[in-house]
Amino acid sequence: MEFDFPTEVLEEGEVKFLAPKLSAFVSSRQEYAPAKAPVFYNPAMELNRDIAVLALQAYQRFVNRQLTICEPLAGCGVRGIRFAKEVEGVSHVIVNDINEKAFQMAKFNVSINKINDRVTVFKEDANLLLSSYAAPHRRFDVVDLDPFGSPSPFLDSAIRAIRDGGLLAVTATDMAPLCGVHLKACLRKYGGKPLRTEYCHEIALRLLIGSIATVAARHETSVHPVFSHSTDHYVRAYLIIKHGAKNADKCLSEMGYILHCFSCLHRETVKGNVLLGYSSKCPECGGKMDYAGPLWLGKLWDSHFYMLMVEEFKRKKLKCAKRIYKILTLIGEELNGPIGYYVLDRFCEKAHLPMPSAKTIVELIKGLGSEACRTHFHPNGVRTIMPARDFLKILRKAVGLNSDDEIAVESR
Ligand SMILES: C[S@@+](CC[C@H](N)C(=O)[O-])C[C@H]1O[C@@H](n2cnc3c(N)ncnc32)[C@H](O)[C@@H]1O
Ligand SMILES: [Zn+2]
């Protein structure tokens, strides 16, 4: 097949595929090549796709049935084709893109991988396509939303197109709104207020999941996050969709707010849909508390699902294995941890202290009999229930300064 723009044959996972030759569309390294090419392909998202292969395989083992999958925003088709070739127990994949050239390239890639019998390519608006699969018995086991920027325009139709107990995978790359640089855009797209804190990536993920839970609840449907990660310029969530009004009510009870004091770095959470009755004064220093939300205050990971993913990781050979190993190891440490994390840079900068390593601080806190772990969200992040004032004392101790007061150890 001939394309009227430069292309090249690439390999990812077990798939050989044609993609636009990205170097031909930019004149300098600063330019973002995937956005300039006539068909979308981003090599930096290979890690995202590798983890998706692991998550879908874990899900398939969990439900133990043949899966139907829809990738409604597919670009050159590499993700959906990888699912068909690399995930065991996949009966059919629908790959779709509204762009004519992407549609042609995805069709070509399906045929060179000789999987025409199991992968169908459409050229449709994603919402129209998903809506045509919203009726009972037509719905998919898995929908993977991987858009430009925000997935919010597609959430409603994706949820309606997933069967009871099915899996929704979602990427959001619009980190400027989600991390509080563009407040109004975040309120518009996710219905929650972001906060420019050092742990904004976790808040971003919680805003995304919160908005999905809210959309799902309108359809008397709940979400159960089984795996999430924040990597490079995006956040990604995997959620099991369960039908039923009671499930939806229970799910909404996991919504709430994170309160944050920019003065002493104290933070707390408040469950429920309103902030009524909460003073905006920090209980620690009397400073003014700001807030993020409404957002998801429930868990970001499911331990059993995580273990299934680790087993798949051991079985599969992936190009991004080294980075995935690091992400999975850190998530293994933090999956039952408290909400939010302290970032050492922020505390040390505020208190004019040299910076110890996150590992040292975790050990020190554990040595005091309290819980602490690192986080995959930030290389210098520490997750602990220890209050900010005690955390600061630990930091002072770690760098050889005397802490005057006793450190009160709280256990969960
Ligand atoms: C980020 S790219 C997809 C990348 C792909 N999922 C991957 O892993 O390589 C988003 C794609 O969505 C397509 N798109 C945007 N709006 C759409 C719509 N309303 N319906 C269908 N496709 C759409 C674009 O043409 C683009 O190819
Ligand atoms: Zn305070």
- Which of 252, 273, 303 is the endpoint of a domain? 303
Residues 264 and 362 in one domain: no
CA nearest neighbour of 361 among 378, 381, 346, 376 = 381
Residues 381 and 267 occupy one common structural domain: no
Residue 80 lies in a domain: yes
Under 8 Å CB-to-CB from 58, ≥6 apart: which residues? 227, 305, 308, 309, 311, 312
Both 345 and 299 in a single domain? no
Quote the CA–CA distance of 130 and 122 in Å, as a whole number.
Answer: 11
Ligand nearest to the CA of 46: 1
Q: Cβ–Cβ contacts within 10 Å for residue 356, how many?
A: 18
Structural domains of the chain, count: 2
- Shortest CA distance to 384 belongs to which of 394, 392, 374, 376? 374
Residues 293 and 350 in one domain: no
Mean pLDDT score of the chain, rounded to an integer?
A: 95
Same domain (yes/no): 268, 371: no
| Atom number in ligand 1 closest to CA 126 | 20
Q: What is the pLDDT of residues 270-321, one digit of tens each?
A: 998 666 667 789 999 999 999 999 999 999 999 999 999 999 999 999 999 9
At residue 411, the pLDDT reads 45
> Does residue 287 sit in the same domain as residue 389?
no
CB-proximal residues (5 Å) to ion ligand 2: 261, 263-264, 266, 282, 284-285, 287
Residue 263's CB is within 10 A of a number of other CB atoms, namely 14
pLDDT given at position 408: 56
Q: Per-residue pLDDT tens for 233-276? A: 999 999 999 999 999 999 999 999 999 999 999 999 999 866 66
Residue 163 lies in a domain: yes
Ligand 2 center from residue 389 Cα (angstroms): 9
**What confidence tens digit (pLDDT) does each residue in 165-217 have?**
999 999 999 999 999 999 999 999 999 999 999 999 999 999 999 999 999 99
Residue 393: inside a domain, yes or no?
yes
Tokens found for residue 298 = 């429930």
Could you give the C-alpha distances from 399 to 208, 351, 387, 395, in angstroms and in order? 37, 12, 19, 6
**pLDDT at site 412:** 43
pLDDT confidence band for 393 (50 / 70 / 90)? very high
**Tens digit of pLDDT for each residue in 350-365?**
999 999 999 999 999 9
Among all bound ligands, the one having the nearest atom to the CA of 99 is: 1
Q: Are 140 and 213 in contact (CB under 8 A)?
A: no
| Ligand 1 pocket by Cβ (under 6 Å) | 40-41, 45, 49, 72-75, 78-79, 96-99, 102, 125-126, 146-148
- 121 and 267 share one domain: yes
Nearest ligand 1 atom to alpha carbon 102: 27
Check residue 29 and give its pLDDT: 79
Residue 321 inside a domain? The answer is: no
Q: Based on the fold, state whether residues 207 and 139 are members of the same structural domain.
A: yes
Share of the chain above pLDDT 70, in %: 96
Whether residues 83 and 170 share a domain: the answer is: yes
Dist. CA 75 → ligand 1 center (Å): 5
Residue at 391 is within a domain: yes
Mutate which of 48, 69, 97 for ligand 1 pocket (most atoms within 8 A of beta carbon): 97
Do residue 295 and residue 371 come from a single domain?
no
Q: Do 298 and 246 have their domain in common? A: yes
* Ligand 1 atom nearest to 78, measured from its CA: 9
95 and 174 share one domain: yes
* Residue 369 belongs to domain spanning: 341-412
Residue where a domain stops, chosen among 303, 332, 360:
303
* CATH code of residue 380: 3.30.56.70
**Whole-number pLDDT of residue 404:** 61
CB 120 within 8 A of CB 107: no
pLDDT band at 403 (very low <50, low <70, confident <90, very high): low
**Max intra-chain CA distance, the chain:** 74
CB atoms < 10 A from the CB of 24, how many? 13
Q: What is the pLDDT of residue 48?
A: 98
Residue 1 has pLDDT above 90, yes or no: no
Q: What is the pLDDT of residues 122-178, one digit of tens each?
A: 999 999 999 999 999 999 999 999 999 999 999 999 999 999 999 999 999 999 999
Q: Is residue 310 part of a domain?
A: no
Element (H, E) at 90: strand 90-96
For atom 19 of ligand 1, the residue with the nearest CA is 125
- Residue 153 belongs to some domain of the structure: yes
Q: Which helix (H) or strand (E) holds 374?
A: strand 372-375
In a domain, residue 317? The reply is no
Domain end among 253, 284, 303: 303
Q: Domain holding 202: CATH number? A: 3.40.50.150
Q: In the predicted model, is pLDDT for residue 330 greater than 70?
A: yes
